[in-house]
Amino acid sequence: MGRFTVDCVDSFGFFIGPANVNVHDIGECFGENCCIHNPSRHHMKTWKQIWRDDHKIMHRMCLHEIGHPDPDDLSSDRNHHCCGCCDPNKFIEGEVVVREIERS
Ligand SMILES: [Zn+2]
Ligand SMILES: [Zn+2]
Ligand SMILES: [Zn+2]
Protein backbone atom coordinates (compact mmCIF):
# COMPACT_ATOMS: atom_id res chain seq x y z
CA MET A 1 0.00 0.00 0.00
CA GLY A 2 1.23 3.46 -0.85
CA ARG A 3 0.09 6.86 0.31
CA PHE A 4 -1.21 9.59 -1.95
CA THR A 5 -2.22 13.10 -0.89
CA VAL A 6 -5.19 14.47 -2.78
CA ASP A 7 -8.19 16.73 -2.16
CA CYS A 8 -10.97 14.54 -0.82
CA VAL A 9 -14.69 14.35 -0.41
CA ASP A 10 -15.37 12.12 2.60
CA SER A 11 -17.75 9.17 2.78
CA PHE A 12 -20.58 11.53 3.79
CA GLY A 13 -20.14 13.76 0.76
CA PHE A 14 -18.37 16.66 2.52
CA PHE A 15 -15.34 18.32 0.98
CA ILE A 16 -12.50 17.95 3.48
CA GLY A 17 -9.50 19.28 1.52
CA PRO A 18 -6.15 17.49 1.11
CA ALA A 19 -5.91 14.13 2.86
CA ASN A 20 -3.87 10.95 2.61
CA VAL A 21 -5.54 8.06 0.87
CA ASN A 22 -4.30 4.48 0.60
CA VAL A 23 -3.45 3.44 -2.93
CA HIS A 24 -2.03 0.29 -4.47
CA ASP A 25 1.73 0.06 -4.94
CA ILE A 26 3.16 1.55 -8.11
CA GLY A 27 4.14 -1.91 -9.41
CA GLU A 28 0.55 -3.17 -9.38
CA CYS A 29 -0.56 -0.96 -12.25
CA PHE A 30 2.71 -1.31 -14.17
CA GLY A 31 2.01 -1.21 -17.90
CA GLU A 32 -1.62 -0.17 -17.40
CA ASN A 33 -3.27 3.21 -17.30
CA CYS A 34 -3.74 4.40 -13.73
CA CYS A 35 -5.29 7.69 -12.62
CA ILE A 36 -2.53 8.08 -10.00
CA HIS A 37 0.66 6.54 -11.40
CA ASN A 38 0.20 6.48 -15.15
CA PRO A 39 -2.61 8.69 -16.51
CA SER A 40 -3.55 8.10 -20.13
CA ARG A 41 -3.54 10.95 -22.64
CA HIS A 42 -7.11 12.08 -21.98
CA HIS A 43 -8.25 15.70 -22.21
CA MET A 44 -8.83 15.95 -18.44
CA LYS A 45 -5.27 14.97 -17.53
CA THR A 46 -4.22 18.39 -16.24
CA TRP A 47 -7.34 18.96 -14.13
CA LYS A 48 -7.26 18.84 -10.36
CA GLN A 49 -7.99 15.41 -8.92
CA ILE A 50 -10.50 14.87 -6.14
CA TRP A 51 -10.97 11.52 -4.42
CA ARG A 52 -14.68 10.85 -3.81
CA ASP A 53 -14.73 8.54 -0.83
CA ASP A 54 -18.54 8.52 -0.96
CA HIS A 55 -18.48 7.03 -4.47
CA LYS A 56 -15.01 5.39 -4.21
CA ILE A 57 -13.87 6.95 -7.45
CA MET A 58 -11.36 9.56 -8.55
CA HIS A 59 -12.88 12.70 -10.02
CA ARG A 60 -11.28 15.44 -12.09
CA MET A 61 -12.49 19.01 -11.60
CA CYS A 62 -13.13 21.05 -14.75
CA LEU A 63 -12.89 24.82 -15.03
CA HIS A 64 -16.51 25.06 -13.85
CA GLU A 65 -15.52 23.36 -10.58
CA ILE A 66 -17.61 20.33 -11.52
CA GLY A 67 -16.16 16.89 -10.75
CA HIS A 68 -16.14 14.27 -13.51
CA PRO A 69 -15.04 10.63 -13.14
CA ASP A 70 -11.38 10.19 -14.07
CA PRO A 71 -11.25 8.20 -17.35
CA ASP A 72 -8.48 6.05 -15.86
CA ASP A 73 -10.58 5.10 -12.83
CA LEU A 74 -12.61 2.11 -13.94
CA SER A 75 -15.06 2.18 -11.02
CA SER A 76 -18.64 1.62 -12.09
CA ASP A 77 -20.27 4.46 -10.12
CA ARG A 78 -19.94 7.20 -12.72
CA ASN A 79 -23.01 9.23 -11.73
CA HIS A 80 -22.22 12.92 -11.47
CA HIS A 81 -23.63 16.34 -12.22
CA CYS A 82 -22.13 17.00 -15.62
CA CYS A 83 -21.53 20.25 -17.47
CA GLY A 84 -20.38 18.30 -20.53
CA CYS A 85 -16.66 18.76 -20.00
CA CYS A 86 -15.87 15.05 -19.59
CA ASP A 87 -17.11 14.40 -23.13
CA PRO A 88 -14.06 14.87 -25.36
CA ASN A 89 -16.33 15.60 -28.31
CA LYS A 90 -17.91 18.59 -26.55
CA PHE A 91 -14.77 19.82 -24.85
CA ILE A 92 -12.40 21.68 -27.16
CA GLU A 93 -9.81 23.43 -25.00
CA GLY A 94 -12.69 24.65 -22.81
CA GLU A 95 -14.00 27.04 -25.46
CA VAL A 96 -17.28 25.46 -26.49
CA VAL A 97 -18.64 24.84 -23.01
CA VAL A 98 -17.51 28.20 -21.63
CA ARG A 99 -19.32 30.05 -24.42
CA GLU A 100 -22.49 28.09 -23.79
CA ILE A 101 -22.48 29.02 -20.13
CA GLU A 102 -21.76 32.70 -20.73
CA ARG A 103 -24.70 32.95 -23.11
CA SER A 104 -27.26 31.59 -20.66
ZN1 LIG B 1 -1.44 2.90 -10.02
ZN1 LIG C 1 -19.01 14.91 -16.73
ZN1 LIG D 1 -17.23 21.90 -16.99
42 Cα–ligand 1 center, Å? 16
Q: Which ligand sits nearest to residue 80's alpha carbon?
A: 2
61 Cα–ligand 3 center, Å? 8
Q: Which ligand sits nearest to residue 78's alpha carbon?
A: 2
Count other C-beta atoms under 10 Å from residue 80's C-beta: 15
User: pLDDT digits over 52-69, tens only?
Assistant: 999 999 999 998 999 999
Residues 6+ apart with CB under 8 A from 54: 9, 10, 11, 12, 13
pLDDT at 103: 52
More confident residue, 94 or 79: 79
Q: Which ligand sits nearest to residue 67's alpha carbon?
A: 2
Domain ranges of the chain: 2-96
User: pLDDT digits over 70-80, tens only?
Assistant: 999 999 889 99
Residue 87 has pLDDT above 60, yes or no: yes
82 Cα–ligand 3 center, Å? 7
Give the number of residues written for the chain. Answer: 104
**Confidence category of residue 102, pLDDT binned at 50, 70, 90:** low
61 Cα–ligand 2 center, Å? 9
User: pLDDT digits over 9-49, tens only?
Assistant: 999 999 999 999 999 999 999 999 999 999 999 999 999 99
> Mean of the pLDDT values across residues 98-104?
52
Q: Which ligand sits nearest to residue 1's alpha carbon?
A: 1
